[in-house]
Amino acid sequence: MIYIKDLMSGIDIFKALSSEIRIQMLELLAKNQALNLNEIASKLGLSNGAITMHVKKLEESGLIEINTTVGKHGIQKICYLNKDKLMVDLRSKDMENLYEVEIQVGHYSNYQAVPTCGLATKDSIIGDFDDPRYFADPQRIDSEIIWLAEGFLEYRIPNYLKPNQSFREIQFSMELGSEAPGYCDNYPSDIYFYINNIEIGCWTSPGDFGDVRGTFNPEWWPPHLNQYGMLKLIRINRDGSYIDGCRISDVTLDQIQLDYKSDITFRIAVTDRPLNKRGLTIFGRNFGNYGQDLLARVLYDVNQT
C-alpha cells in the first residue's frame, strides 16, 4: 500500500493518475499481475512507442515496477504493480502536531507463541524452529521476521504528550500475513488488534504468501518459507477504529482513556477463537515487500489554557 500523508507529497502519483490510458494500464496489471510492453500495447490497441511515456510516468511515480528479462525475441521489459493499494489522508492538516516512531518487530515487550513459530534476524534464524523458548532470547530484539500459529506480540508505544496536549488519533502501520507450515497463499487467518488490552478490531489475512520472493528478503532465506505480507494501516480516533480506511469497530480513543501520563501497549494476536485461526507473521525492514518495521504515529491537539 502507498500511504500519502499529505497532498503535496503525492503530486507525482496524482500526475501519473491523470491519464485515462495510464489508469487502463494499471487495471490491466491488477488483473494480470505482470505484462511485458508488447502485451500492454496489444491489449490497449496502441503501439509500443505510444505507451513508452506512460510506462515511464507510472514507474517514476512508484506505482509500477519494471524488470528486464531475456526472452525468445530478445530483451523484454516486464511491468508489475508495485503496490496493491493507494491511501490518501485528506485530513492531514496540522501535521506539526504529531510524532512517529518506528519500532523493530523484535522489540516486543510481551509475547505468547505456539508452534509453528520462530524468529530470524537478517542474518540467521534465532535458535530452532518451533521452539517458543527462543522468543525470550536477548538476540530477539534484532528480529526482522516473526511468526506464530497462535498467541500474540505486544509492543510498548512511547507517550511523548505534554500536560496541555490530548490524543486525537493513533495509527499503526505494519506488514502482516498468516502463518502456514512453509507457505500457503490461500490460508485465511483472523488477526486481532488491542490497545491497552482493549480489542479495537480484527483483520482477516488472506494467506501466508510465498508465490514470489519478498523484495527485501536476505539471500539466505529459504524459498519454501513465507516471503511477504500485506501492508496494513490501523487507525483509532474519536469516531472509531479503522483498517485501510474501512471501519472495523466502534471503539474510540475516548474509550481507551489515554492522557499524557498513560502507558500505551499495542498487541497483535491470533486468539483461541475457532474461526480462521491460522497464525500471524510480521515482517520487518529486511524482510517482505515494504522495507519498514512497526510504525506508530500519534496525532494530538494542543489544548488552550
Written as tens digits, the pLDDT of the chain (305 aa) is 676 766 666 778 888 888 999 999 999 988 887 899 989 999 999 988 888 889 988 988 889 988 887 766 678 888 988 776 677 766 555 567 999 999 999 999 999 999 999 999 999 999 999 999 999 999 999 999 999 999 999 999 999 999 999 999 999 999 999 999 999 999 999 999 999 999 999 999 999 999 889 989 999 999 999 999 999 999 999 999 999 989 999 999 999 999 999 999 999 999 988 789 999 999 999 999 888 999 999 999 998 86
* From the candidate CATH numbers 3.40.190.10, 3.40.50.620, 2.60.120.260, 3.50.50.60, the one assigned to the domain spanning 94-302: 2.60.120.260
Contact in structure between 15 and 57 (CB atoms under 8 Å): yes
Each domain of the chain, given as residue ranges in start order, spans 2-81, 94-302
Contact in structure between 140 and 119 (CB atoms under 8 Å): yes
Specify the 3-state DSSP secondary structure of 22: helix
Specify the 3-state DSSP secondary structure of 182: coil
Judged on CB neighbours under 10 Å (0-12, 13-18, 19+), 91 is: exposed
What does CATH list as the number for 2-81?
1.10.10.10
* pTM for the model: 0.77
